[in-house]
Structure 1
Amino acid sequence: MMRSGVSLRVMILAALTVPIIVQSPETFTLMVPNGPILTWLNSTVSLTCELSPLFNAEPLEVRWYRAKDFDSTALLYKDHKIQEASVDPHYRGRVSLTGELERGNVSLTLERVTLEDRGEYVCYVSSEQWYDKAIVLLTVNVTGSEPVLSEARGGQVHQMVTTT
């Protein structure tokens, strides 16, 4: 009999130590990286954005858009699904939610990054009672060949290869 009492106490203790996900609070904030997110041309990158406190974001509206252009939507999640018709054609087929909406993760995954993708993105999340938005800066690194400088002297062109 004593063993079953100990087992029950261990099970109760284990159940109490599981992280608790808050049920839709009245207000929330968004957590994003402090600095820019750096990626390479043609790579896949995740623009991180999470709810605080952590709670299920499935019933919320999640909108990712370029700063200063609310209507140019990179991704819109509304009514429990991604709204494909509302997405800017530049992003169509290249964006998705990273996942774990039920854990408050509303991060955006962007595939096949282009130079045009660099800049500020707004993570905007709204409920019926509240909304918050936060800015994520994306920087795109480009690698290329060594620059070649040409110089004309006396009717002839001389090339100089410079290294960085």
Structure 2
Amino acid sequence: MELQQGRRSSQHRCARSGDTLHAGLVVTLLIGVWYAQALEVTTGKVHFVEVLNGSSVLLPCSYSSCIGIKKLYFNWHFKDNGTMVKLCEATITAEGVEPRVMIYHMRVEFVGSSKQNNISILLHNVTFEDQGEYICFARNFKEKDRNHSATYTLYVVEELKVVDNTLTLIIVSVLGGVIGLIILIMVIKAIVQTVLSKVQEKNKECLVSSTGNDNTENGLPASKADSKPTPKA
């Protein structure tokens, strides 16, 4: 009796252990799905730009979420010597609804659109004081206020660097000349082979014709009528 109870207790513990394992797997799967669907903010493949002093520059930013957005709050900050300066902010109430953007910097213009998941801004009349990091932040109420941010670095210069393409042009010219020479050699080779082939065919025809004429003159291809003996009278 005690042995049966021990077996039952062992089976019960195994079942509880299996349930715990399954629950852990479910939780892990749900966490993976949650992160896969999570809000993401990006400033593109290139996270910096170099602009000329006094010009205007686009600071790109876009957002994405697999489960959609609701009351998506976003803002832009400029990191000025460690101090975060807010440039603009707004809330996108639903997908496709254009936000009412509050601008806190006189040279900032919002140029994004919720229809393209775009929350980019334009900075006019750039000065050297504008150089630094710009942070795009977003928070999605639909994902229990999950948030994400991306940084874009701005470099301001007096004049843009002129890229010396001399070496590149030399390399391209040499490669082009080599390729052209190879093509020319191949064309000449094909023409020569064609001419030689025609000459060989003509030589064969002349040889066959000459051989036939020589044999006729020497009486070699005599006809059957000529081979018969002359009948006696």
TM-score normalised by structure 2 residue count: 0.43
Q: Which has the higher contact order (CA 8 A, sep 6+)?
A: 1
What does 1:3-18 correspond to in 2, within 5 Å?
A: none
**In structure 2, how many angstroms separate the alpha carbons of the residues matched to 1:57 and 1:110?**
27
Structure 2 residue aligned with 1:83: 102
- Is contact 1:55-1:102 (8 Å) kept? no
Question: Identity across aligned pairs (percent)?
Answer: 21
The answer as to 2:72 corresponding to 1:39 is no
Higher strand share: 1
Larger-Rg structure: 2
Change (3 A) 1:44 1:50: same
Structure 2 residue aligned with 1:114: 127
Change (3 A) 1:59 1:138: same
**In structure 2, how many angstroms separate the alpha carbons of the residues matched to 1:57 and 1:98?**
20
TM-score normalised by structure 1 residue count: 0.59
Query: Residue deviations 1:31-59, cap 9 Å, x none?
Result: 21334111111111111111134898794
Change (3 A) 1:112 1:36: same
1:52 to 43, 50, 64: 64
CA RMSD of aligned residues (A): 2.8
- Is contact 1:57-1:105 (8 Å) kept? no
Structure 2 residue aligned with 1:142: 158
Change (3 A) 1:56 1:116: farther
Higher helix share: 2
**In structure 1, how many angstroms separate the alpha carbons of the residues matched to 2:75 and 2:135?**
8
Q: Unaligned stretches of 5+ in structure 2?
A: 1-35, 93-98, 160-233
Q: Displacement, 1:64?
A: 0.5
Change (3 A) 1:53 1:60: closer
Change (3 A) 1:39 1:103: same
- Is contact 1:55-1:103 (8 Å) kept? no
Alignment size in residue pairs:
113
**In structure 2, how many angstroms separate the alpha carbons of the residues matched to 1:99 and 1:115?**
25
Change (3 A) 1:56 1:115: farther
Q: 1:29 corresponds to which letter in structure 2? A: E
Q: Displacement, 1:141?
A: 1.5
Change (3 A) 1:40 1:57: farther
